[in-house]
Amino acid sequence: MIEAAEPENSREWSDPEVHEGRLGPIFEDFAFFFSRVLVLFCPQSAVDLRSFACEAGAAGNSCIKDLSLGCVLFVVPVLTKLEVESKVREKNFRCCGAMTYFPDEVVEHIFDFLSSHRDRNNVSTVCKAWYLVEQLSRLRVFVGNCYAVRPERVMARFPGMKCLTVKGKPHFADFNLVPHDWGGDALPWIETAARCCPGLEELRLKRMVVSDESLELLARAFPNFKSLVLISCEGFSTDGLAEIATHCRGLRELDLQENEVEDHGRQWLSCFPDSCTSLVSLNFACLKGEVNTSALERLVARCQNLRCLKLNRAISIESLIKILARAPNLVELGTGSFTADHRTEAYQNLLNAFYKCNSIRNLSGFWDAAPRYLQAIYSICSSLTVLNLSYAPAIQVNDLIKMIRHCFKLQKLWVLDSIGDKGLAAVACACKELQELRVFPSDVYGTGIAAVTEEGLVAISSGCPKLNSLLYFCHQMTNAALITVAKNCPHFTRFRLCILDPVKPDPISNEPLDEGFGAIVKSCKDLKRLSLSGLLTDKVFLYIGMYASRLEMLSIAFAGESDKGMVYVLNGCKNLKKLEIRDSPFGDAALLENVGKYETMRSLWMSSCDVTQGGCKALAAKMPRLNVEVINEREESDEMVENPSDMHRVEKMYVYRTLTGPRDDAPDFVWTF
Interaction of residue 614 with another protein, rule CB under 8 A: no
If one counts every other C-beta atom within 10 angstroms of the C-beta of residue 181, the result is 14
Q: How many residues does the chain have?
A: 673
Of 597, 604, 598, 561, nearest to 581 by C-alpha is 604
Residue nearer to another protein on the CB measure, 442 or 549: 442
By C-alpha distance, which of 589, 575, 564 is closest to 521?
575
**Please, what is the Cα angle at 448 between 442 and 453, to 5 degrees?**
75
Asked if 649 touches another protein (CB under 8 A), the answer is yes
Site string for another protein, 119-158 (x = CB under 8 A): ----------------------------------------
CB of 321 to another protein, least distance (A): 18
Query: Would you say 433 or 561 has its CB closer to another protein?
Result: 561
Q: How far is the CB of 603 from another protein (least distance, A)?
A: 17
Minimum CB distance to another protein, residue 515 (Å) = 10
Using CB under 8 A, which residues numbered 439 to 498 contact another protein? 440-442, 444-447, 473, 498
Spell out a b/e string for 194-204, using b for 16 or more CB atoms within 10 Å of the CB, else e.
Answer: eebbeebbbbb
Site string for another protein, 253-272 (x = CB under 8 A): -----xxx------------
Tally Cβ neighbours within 10 Å of residue 560. Answer: 25
Concatenated DSSP letters for 406-433? Answer: T-TT--EEEEEGGGHHHHHHHHHHH-TT
| Interface residue with another protein, options 394, 592, 641, 666 (CB under 8 A) | 394
Site for another protein in 311-370 (CB under 8 A): 343, 368, 370
CB-wise, 519 or 535, nearer to another protein?
535
SS3 370: coil
- The span from the CA of 226 to the CA of 279, in Å, is 9
Nearest CA-CA partner of 130 in 43, 16, 3, 41: 16
Give the separation between CA 456 and CA 481, rounded to whole angstroms: 10
d(CA 131, CA 108) in angstroms, rounded, equals 11
Nearer to another protein, 204 or 539 (CB): 539
Residue 558 makes contact with another protein by CB under 8 A: yes
Binding residues for another protein, rule CB under 8 A, total 64
Q: Which stretch binds another protein (CB under 8 A): 117-125, 292-300, 483-491, 502-510?
A: 502-510
Task: Kindly give the pairing relationship between strand 603-607 and strand 652-657.
Answer: antiparallel
Write the CB contacts of 352 (distance below 8 Å, at least 6 apart in sequence).
none
- Residue closer to another protein, measured from CB, 231 or 301: 231
Which DSSP category does 513 fall into?
Answer: S
How many C-beta atoms surround the C-beta of residue 635 within 10 A? 9
What gap in Å lies between CA 209 and CA 520, rounded to an integer? 37
Query: Are the C-beta atoms of 403 and 378 separated by less than 8 Å?
Result: yes
Least gap, CB of 533 to another protein (angstroms): 9
Task: Identify which of residues 255 and 561 has a Cβ nearer to another protein in the complex.
Answer: 561
Name which of 105 and 174 has its Cβ closer to another protein. Answer: 174
The residue (of 114 and 311) whose beta carbon lies closer to another protein is 311
Interface residue with another protein among 114, 286, 452, 520 (CB under 8 A) is 286
- CB within 8 Å of 436: residues ≥ 6 apart: 411, 412, 413, 467, 468, 469, 470, 494
Please choose, out of 97-105, 124-132, 425-433, 649-657, the segment that lies near another protein by the rule CB under 8 A: 649-657
Q: For another protein, which is the closer residue by CB, 178 or 330?
A: 178
CB 307 within 8 A of CB 280: yes
Return the HEC string of 373-407.
Answer: HHHHHHHHHCCCCEEECCCCCCCCHHHHHHHHCCC
**Cα separation of 249 and 251, whole Å?**
6
Q: For the CA atoms of 638, 644, 648, 654, what is the dihedral angle to 10 degrees?
A: 100
Q: How far is the CB of 94 from another protein (least distance, A)?
A: 52
d(CA 254, CA 227): 6
DSSP for 44-84 reads: HHHHHHHHHHHHHTSSHHHHHHHHHH-------TTS-HHHH
Q: Which stretch binds another protein (CB under 8 A): 101-109, 393-401, 517-525, 543-551?
A: 393-401
Beta carbons of 477 and 508 less than 8 angstroms apart: no
Minimum CB distance to another protein smaller for 129 or for 370 = 370
Q: Which of 167, 247, 322, 504 binds another protein (CB under 8 A)?
A: 504
Interface residue with another protein among 652, 653, 654, 657 (CB under 8 A) is 652
User: Smallest gap, in angstroms, from Cβ of residue 403 to another protein?
Assistant: 16
* Window 518 to 557, contacts with another protein (CB under 8 A): 531, 535, 537, 539, 555, 557
Rule CB under 8 A: which of 155-214 touch another protein? 172-181
CB of 384 or CB of 557, closer to another protein: 557
Out of 511, 522, 659, 672, point to the residue binding another protein (CB under 8 A).
Answer: 511
Task: Give whichever of 274 and 668 is closer to another protein, judged by the CB atom.
Answer: 668
Site for another protein in 401-440 (CB under 8 A): 440
Residues contacting 312, CB < 8 A, separation 6+: 284, 285, 286, 287, 288, 289, 291, 334, 336
Kindly write out the interface string for residues 210-249 of this chain, putting x where it contacts another protein by CB under 8 A and - elsewhere. Answer: ----------------------x-----------------
CB of 475 to another protein, least distance (A): 11
Name residues contacting another protein, limited to 616-645 (CB under 8 A).
Answer: 633-634, 636
Question: Given the rule CB under 8 A, which residues bind another protein?
Answer: 172-181, 232, 258-260, 286, 343, 368, 370-371, 390-391, 393-394, 396, 440-442, 444-447, 473, 498, 500-505, 510-512, 514, 531, 535, 537, 539, 555, 557-558, 561, 582-585, 608, 610, 633-634, 636, 648-649, 651-652
